[in-house]
């Protein structure tokens, strides 16, 4: 009898967990970076509430034909891992804690939030 109640309770809990809606995963806040425009001017780029777990190539610095962005500022509630290469590839990367930033010396082309 107890086994039947235990199994019924476990199935009920499993059903409840499966049917609960899941929230979209995103970092809340803004990620900022500085880049050089094609005309040679300094500009600030930003990502508002970026998605978590997806690699984002930084507009204005996302190809080898352009200089990399620099001085990233992670003003989100998630950890940001920035990469020197586009598509979050390569072994040159740096992790920024939530609320953290780096100097002009850190060059970046892509970021992923986790």
| CATH for 29-113, options being 2.40.50, 2.40.10, 3.10.450, 2.60.20 | 2.60.20
**Which sequence spans correspond to the domains of the chain?**
29-113
Q: Of residues 21 and 2, which shows the higher confidence score?
A: 2
**pTM for the whole thing?**
0.77
pLDDT tens readout for residues 9-51: 444 444 434 444 444 578 999 999 999 998 999 999 999 999 9
Which contacts of 53-58 are long-range, i.e. CB under 8 A and separated by 24 or more positions?
53/25, 53/112, 53/113, 53/114, 54/112, 54/113, 55/87, 55/88, 55/110, 55/111, 55/112, 56/110, 56/111, 56/112, 57/86, 57/87, 57/109, 57/110, 58/33, 58/108, 58/109, 58/110, 58/111
């Amino acid at each position: 009898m107890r086994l039947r109640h235990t199994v019924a309770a476990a199935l009920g809990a499993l059903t409840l967990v499966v049917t609960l809606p899941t929230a979209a995963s995103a970092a809340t806040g803004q990620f900022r970076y500085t880049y050089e425009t094609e005309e040679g001017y300094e500009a600030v780029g930003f990502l508002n509430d970026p998605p978590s777990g997806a690699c984002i190539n930084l507009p204005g610095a996302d190809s080898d034909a352009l200089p990399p962005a620099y001085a990233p500022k992670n003003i989100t509630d998630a950890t940001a891992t920035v990469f020197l290469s586009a598509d979050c590839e390569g072994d040159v990367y740096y992790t920024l804690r939530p609320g953290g930033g780096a100097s002009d010396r850190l060059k970046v082309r892509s970021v992923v939030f986790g």
